[in-house]
Homo-oligomer: A and B are copies of this chain.
Amino acid sequence: MRGLRADAERNRAAILAVARDVFAEQGLEAPLEVIAARAGVGIATLYRRFPTREKLVAAALLEKIALYAGAAEQALAVPDPWAGFAGFVQRICELQACDRGLGDLLSMALPADEQIEQLRTTANGQVITLIERAKASGTLRDDFVGEDLLLLLIATAAVMQVTRADAPDAWRRFVALALDAFRRQDAPSLPEPPATVQMTRAMARLAAERGCGGPAHDTTTRR
């Protein structure tokens, strides 16, 4: 694949810039024609440059995913295990709140680009370490697992979406409650210690990280 022609490259950049905005505002299911129009480009040009929605999503959100991965790394650098863990949780929720598209990507099992999956997978490894460290320090409940974090991401994404218009900060309270629940306490044991569950693709990855293995089936269907 050689370099694009000058105008083509310009258009590509314009599409990408607009896509970032639109996905952030409207989520990953925004009409592609909106993006093309706002970029001052025909719909065909968008399709030529990004043949599938996933390609466009991947290109547009790569930096945001990198922020997610970076947050995990920074959290590991925090000396206090609980502070690192709690800060990480708040940080990724913050990222989610700033970018509805990222929320979709983190919470729903959208078909994602290989590059993004790789980034996410390594990040997940660090997250597991973060979790184990916090558990070992006695501040995070023993039965906590990575999947619980995914549940939280799903939940906060929904809370944000529903309350965005009326109470845009409601999710902060929700996340604070969740962190309270995650903190160690003499609580009744949770149902279904989910050693075997596997939900979204991201969760399958998480599980794989932790050595559970799992059929990462394809889903070749479109739409």
- Residues on A lying within 8 angstroms of B by beta carbon are 107-109, 147-148, 151, 154-159, 162-163, 166-167, 169-170, 172-174, 176-178, 180-183, 185, 187-188, 190-192, 194, 197-200, 203
Question: How far, in Å, is A184 (CB) from chain B's closest CB?
Answer: 11
A109 to B162, CA, bound (A): 8
A36 to B6, CA, bound (A): 54
Question: Could you list 17 examples of A-B contacts with CB < 8 Å?
Answer: A107-B158, A147-B170, A148-B173, A148-B177, A155-B158, A158-B159, A162-B199, A166-B197, A166-B200, A166-B203, A169-B191, A176-B188, A176-B190, A176-B191, A177-B178, A181-B181, A183-B187
Are B155's CB and A169's CB within 8 A? no
Q: A180-B181, A181-B180, A199-B163 are in contact. Are A174 and B187 (CB under 8 A)?
A: no
Nearest-neighbor residue (CB-CB) of A156 within chain B: B155
Given A109-B162, A154-B163, A162-B200, 16 more pairs with CB closer than 8 A: A107-B162, A148-B173, A151-B170, A154-B162, A155-B159, A158-B159, A162-B199, A163-B199, A169-B192, A170-B199, A172-B192, A173-B191, A173-B192, A173-B194, A176-B190, A180-B180
Nearest-neighbor residue (CB-CB) of A169 within chain B: B192
- Number of this chain's copies in the complex: 2
Contact of A197 among B158, B167, B185 (CB under 8 A): B167
A167 to B192, CA, bound (A): 10
Instruction: Determine chain A's interface SS by DSSP, over half rule.
Output: helix
Are A154's CB and B148's CB within 8 A? no
A185 to B170, CA, bound (A): 21
Question: How far, in Å, is A149 (CB) from chain B's closest CB?
Answer: 11
A188 to B156, CA, bound (A): 20
Give the residues in chain B near A177, CB-CB below 8 Å: 148, 151, 178, 181-182, 190
A55 to B154, CA, bound (A): 31
Which of A155, A187, A198 is packed against the most chain B CB atoms within 10 Å? A155
Give the residues in chain B near A166, CB-CB below 8 Å: 197-200, 203
Give the residues in chain B near A170, CB-CB below 8 Å: 147, 151, 192, 194, 197, 199
